[in-house]
Amino acid sequence: MFSLLVRRLLSAVPTILIVITIAFFMMRAAPGGPFDKEKLLPPEIEANILRVYNLDKPLYQQYVDYLKNILKGDFGPSYKYRDFTVNDLIASGIRVSFKLGIYAMLVAVTFGVTAGTIAALKQNSRFDYVVMGMAMTGIAIPNFVMAPLLTLIFGIYLSWLPVAGWNNGAFENMLLPVLALALPRVAYIARLTRGSMVEIIHSNFIRTARAKGLREKIVIVRHALKASLLPVVSYLGPATTYVITGSVVIESIFDVPGIGRYFIHGALNRDYPVVMGVVIFFCIIIVTVNLIVDLIYGFLDPKMKVE
């Protein structure tokens, strides 16, 4: 397991470097610049601004300097948020984004695994048909459509919940964005759990466990459920990163002060350091979560050998 961890960490280095390189040059290739929308400045003042942010250097030199700063953990200053560094913006926004993402995944795993397991145990029953029908509906409706629907129903028609704002993470303010992020994931996890569980409960080792006289609860929880979670764990890697990094739209709809808001504003304003910092941070999250999933997968599957 340790050798697997080392290999994954070593392979992550060139992956992150490639992402940094592509994002850096794509940002510079986009039309416009960070100060093009400002009032026309005298040439000497504009030259001073470019020199302060090292934008007067050749592009390759900017790239080398940026890599050196990244190795020090410095993402640089923001061009638009005065007196704030990119590290400050990421630190303030990531707490909100992580909070939304983790709660959404907890809701998705809890309800998805539970509904999928019960549907598999009651295969071809009315409950099974209802759960799978709702799952297909949840898969077909993306969260950027689900969010306005939830806002319309619970915020405007019923007036039960606030439709926007964060209010320091109050429960009533978090509920709608968490549900909007979680519902499509609940649908996917329920379908994966149900399909895997149906296959597992008809396998030979489950019949053997029942033939030995084990209680049905022990057979399902200790043997069938553990084996049926393998495809769910494989899905949780990209799903978790998508929920955390893909909450950009949800944060905009519900006016949540997460990292997605800074990313959108940075892209619109050509704030190169902010966009680069968020992209690199998301890349690190994706690599880390995939590594954790590999380790969990090895724990759940005793047949998995690490050569």
What lies within 8 Å, CB to CB, of 167 at 6+ separation is 173
Asked if residue 253 lies in contact with residue 151, where contact means CB atoms within 8 angstroms, the answer is yes
- Phi and psi torsions of 153, nearest 5°: -75, -55
From first to last of the 307 residues of the chain, give the pLDDT tens digit.
Answer: 566 667 777 777 888 888 888 888 887 777 766 666 656 666 676 677 777 777 777 888 888 888 888 888 888 888 777 778 888 888 878 888 888 888 888 888 889 888 888 888 888 888 888 888 888 887 777 777 888 888 888 888 888 888 887 787 788 888 888 888 888 888 888 888 888 888 888 777 777 877 877 777 777 777 777 777 778 877 877 777 777 766 677 877 888 887 777 777 777 777 888 888 888 888 888 888 777 777 776 666 655 554 4
* Domain at 95-271, CATH class: mainly alpha
Longest CA–CA separation in the chain, Å: 87
Residue among 286, 306, 296 nearest 232 (CA): 296
The domain limits of the chain are: 95-271
Supply the angle between the helices 126-140 and 86-121 in degrees, to the nearest 10.
150
Q: What is the pTM of this model?
A: 0.74
Residue 158 CB: number of other CB atoms within 10 A?
Answer: 9
What pLDDT, on a 0 to 100 scale, did the predictor assign at position 303?
Answer: 57
Q: Token digits for 238?
A: 């990209």
Residue among 105, 134, 102 nearest 118 (CA): 134
Q: Token digits for 150?
A: 């939830």
